Amino acid sequence: MWNALLVWHREQHSLANSLTLGLGIYIIISPFILNGLKTLLPKGVYIFLIDIEKFTVLYLIGWLICFGLSFLVYRLIKPKYDKDYVIALGAGLLNGNQISPLLKKRVQRGLDFANAQYTATGHYPYMIMSGGQGNDETIPEAQAMAAYAQSVGYPTEYILTEQASKTTFQNMQFSKKLLLQKGLNPNKGIFVTSDYHVFRAGIFAFDNGLKINGLGARTRLYFIYNALIREYIAILARYKKLHVVVLALIILFALADSLISIWFIK
C-alpha cells in the first residue's frame, strides 16, 4: 500500500500504475470477505469456494516464483563481446519528440555495452533503434533514439533505425528483417530494454527466431513492482488454454471436497 501511494504521487493515475494498490486492497479485505461468507453460506458451498480461492492463489504463486527466478537469471547474464548488433527497444517520447528518461536509460545501456565491446575488441556492433511513431508522437521513437546516440558520440555509420513497430513483438520482427538486409548473423546479437521487461522481450525474440539474450536498464525501485506485476500478467495471458484446464481441475477437486464434507456432516 505504501508503494501504491508512492506511485500515485509520482506517476500517472492509470490502471497499469494501480496494480500494487489492487493487490494491497485484496490482501487486506480478503480475510474479512471469506469470514463473512463462512457465516452466510452452507458449509459445503463455503468449502467449495475456499478451495477454489486457495488453489488458484497457489497456482498463481507457482507461476510467480518461476517468473521471479527467470527475471533474476536474466539480471545475472553477462553477454560476451562478440556481437554484430544490439537492438534497443523503444518506449514513449516526452512531448511527442523528446527521448524520455526511461528510454534514455535503455539506449544508454546498449551504448555502454557497444562501447565496452569496441574497447575490448576494436569492433563496433550495429545499434538498431527500434520504435515506431505513436498517436501522440510527432516523430518515430527510433529517430529520437538515434539522435541521442549520435549526440553522445556513437558512430553514425553503425546506427540503424527501425521505425514501423508498435509492439515488442514487432520490434523483434522488423529488426530481424533489417539485420538480415544488412547481412548480419541473426543469432549474434543482444537486445536491450528495461530490466523488468527483459524476460518477456526474450520470449518475443525467440518467437521471431532470434536466439539472443537481453540486457536490462535499471528501473526506479518504487516503480518496478507495478512493472513486474504487469509483465507477470502479460506472460500469464500467453497460456490461456493451460489456465482453463487447471481451473477446471481445481473446480472439480473443490466440488469433490465439498461433497465429501457434506457426506461426513450427514
Q: Position of cell 518496478?
A: 224
Burial class of residue 32, CB neighbours in 10 A (0-12, 13-18, 19+): exposed
Are 139 and 261 found together in one domain? no
Low-confidence ranges of the chain (pLDDT < 70): 10-17, 264-266
Domain presence at residue 160: yes
- For residues 60 and 52, the answer to whether their CB atoms sit within 8 Å is no
Are 258 and 175 found together in one domain? no
* Per-residue pLDDT reduced to its tens digit, 84-99: 999 999 887 888 888 8
Contacts for 243 with CB less than 8 Å, ≥ 6 apart: 236
* Per-residue pLDDT reduced to its tens digit, 196-209: 888 889 999 999 99
Are 206 and 243 found together in one domain? no
H-assigned helices in the chain = 2-10, 19-40, 43-76, 101-121, 141-151, 168-181, 198-207, 221-236, 240-265
Task: Determine the straight-line distance between the first and last CA of the chain, rounded to whole angstroms.
Answer: 44
Domain presence at residue 229: no
Are 105 and 179 found together in one domain? yes
Domain presence at residue 138: yes
pLDDT score at 13: 63
Domain presence at residue 172: yes
Are 21 and 118 found together in one domain? no
* Domain total of the chain: 2
pLDDT score at 34: 81
Domain presence at residue 228: no
- Cα separation of 234 and 238, whole Å? 7
- Cα separation of 261 and 263, whole Å? 5
Are 214 and 109 found together in one domain? yes
Going from the C-alpha of 154 to that of each of 110, 111, 217, the distances in angstroms are 11, 8, 18
Are 115 and 204 found together in one domain? yes
3-state secondary structure of 156: helix
pLDDT score at 206: 92
Burial class of residue 58, CB neighbours in 10 A (0-12, 13-18, 19+): exposed
- Cα separation of 226 and 83, whole Å? 32
Are 95 and 194 found together in one domain? yes
- Domain span at 261: 2-75+234-265
- Cα separation of 122 and 207, whole Å? 32
Q: Position of cell 518461476?
A: 66
Are 133 and 56 found together in one domain? no
CATH number of residue 192's parent domain: 3.40.50.620
Domain presence at residue 227: no
What amino acid is encoded at 264 in this protein?
F
